[in-house]
Every structure is written in C-alpha cells, then in structure tokens.
Amino acid sequence: MPRAAVHRWLLGPWAKPVVFVLALLPLVWLVYAAVYDHLGANPAEALVRSTGDWSLRSLCCVLLVTPLRVIADVPALARLRRMLGLFVYFYVSLHFLAYGWLDMGLDLGDITKDIAKRPFILVGFTALVLLTPLALTSWNGAIRALGSVRWRNLHRLVYAIAVLAVLHFFWMRAGKRDFAEVAVYAVILVGLLGWRVWRRFSRPRIRSRTDL
C-alpha cells in the first residue's frame, strides 16, 4: 500500500477501532482457551506467562511506533501510540492480577512477602508501579496540566520500564536456564532504544511530544 494511502487510512475513522480490536485479540484467545480447557496441564501458569508475554509484545509495539513513523515518514502513526501504551498497562495489570489471584489466592500479605522475597517479582512490580503514572497521564488534559516538557520527561520512564521488563523476564527464565526467548526480546528492545540514542545524538533537532 502506498505511503500516502497508509497515512490517509491512519487519519481516518476506522484506524483506531481496528487497532483496538487487534490489540484485544490476545485476551479473547486467552478467555476462549480458559473456558474450553486449551491452556494445557497448568492453566494458571499458562495464563500468568501468556499475559506477561503479551505485555512485552505490546511494549515492543509502542516503542516501534516512533522509529516506524520516522523511517517510513508516516506521521499519522503517532495517533496510535497512546492507545497502544494503555494496552501495555492493561496487559501488565492482567499479568499481575493473574499472579496475585492464581498463584497467591489474592492474599495481600503473601503477595507483599513474595514481592519482597523474590527479586524478579520485585522488578516486575516496580515496572507496573512506574507504568501507572504514564497510564494516568495519557490524556490531553494531563499534558496541559503538566506542560509538554514535564509530560515528555515523565513518559521517558518507558525506557526504564523496558529494561525492567526484560530483566524480569530474564530472572524468571533463569531457574529453567531458558534464555532463547529472553534474548529475542532483549535484542528487539536494545535495537529500539539504541535507535533513539543514535537519533538523539546524530544531529540537532526540534523536540516534540511525538518523539518518545
């Protein structure tokens, strides 16, 4: 599809609803698999792991928006980033809820002790905490209230969150010595963050709130 046609479609009324439905498909599949017993021998572990996987994939999609927008010269892609960012928070919250409910029985005392005791859970919980102000300020009124510079600086926390997410995944897989999938996500995120570093220092530019 020509670039101009892609740009027009992204500016049209159907772009956000289509992306919204696509972003919900993993949840639809997980609900279907849970209802019809397609989650394998350990459904609880499958749900916790799957929601965590989709959290990472959603984060990669969010970080891909700006490089793709710049390289393909399709500015309208920026319209999708806020919604995709909220889906990151949505899947991370589901991941934590699945852990707290299916693994810990929603016992707040046990959850608190487990977070303090196991570093990989502490790292994952920290990422959720850091994501919360980003989700709460993902609306135009927050940008006006904070000011564009402070808002942009706050939302750069996504870079730290990306590092914490990969570290959480690495420590989780360390017990099984299974690092192949971790390496894939690490390479993707290093590439996406590395592109930002390269662009930031390669030439002077005018900053805007779309450059995150």
Q: Are 44 and 52 in contact (CB under 8 A)?
A: no
Domain boundaries, the chain: 3-202
* Higher pLDDT pick, 144 / 181: 144
Model confidence pLDDT, tens digit, residues 86-141: 999 999 999 999 999 999 999 999 999 999 999 999 999 999 999 999 999 998 89
Residue 202 is predicted with a pLDDT of 79
Q: What distance lies between CA 193 and its chain's CA centroid?
A: 14
Model confidence pLDDT, tens digit, residues 148-159: 999 999 999 999
Cα–Cα dist 31/141, whole Å: 34
Q: What is the pTM of this model?
A: 0.90
* Higher pLDDT pick, 211 / 43: 43
Q: Torsions phi, psi of 113, nearest 5?
A: -65, -40
DSSP three-state, residue 26: helix
Q: Are 61 and 81 in contact (CB under 8 A)?
A: no
Residue 77 per-residue DSSP state: G
Cα–Cα dist 125/128, whole Å: 5
Diameter of the chain measured on Cα atoms? 56
Is the pLDDT reported for residue 206 higher than 60? no
Per DSSP, helices labelled H in 72-211 are 78-98, 108-117, 119-136, 140-146, 148-155, 157-174, 180-202
Instruction: Find, among 81, 63, 67, 94, the residue nearest to 16 by Cα.
Output: 81
Residue range 43-48: mean pLDDT, rounded = 93
Model confidence pLDDT, tens digit, residues 171-185: 887 766 777 888 898
User: Residue 207 — pLDDT band, cuts 50, 70, 90?
Assistant: low
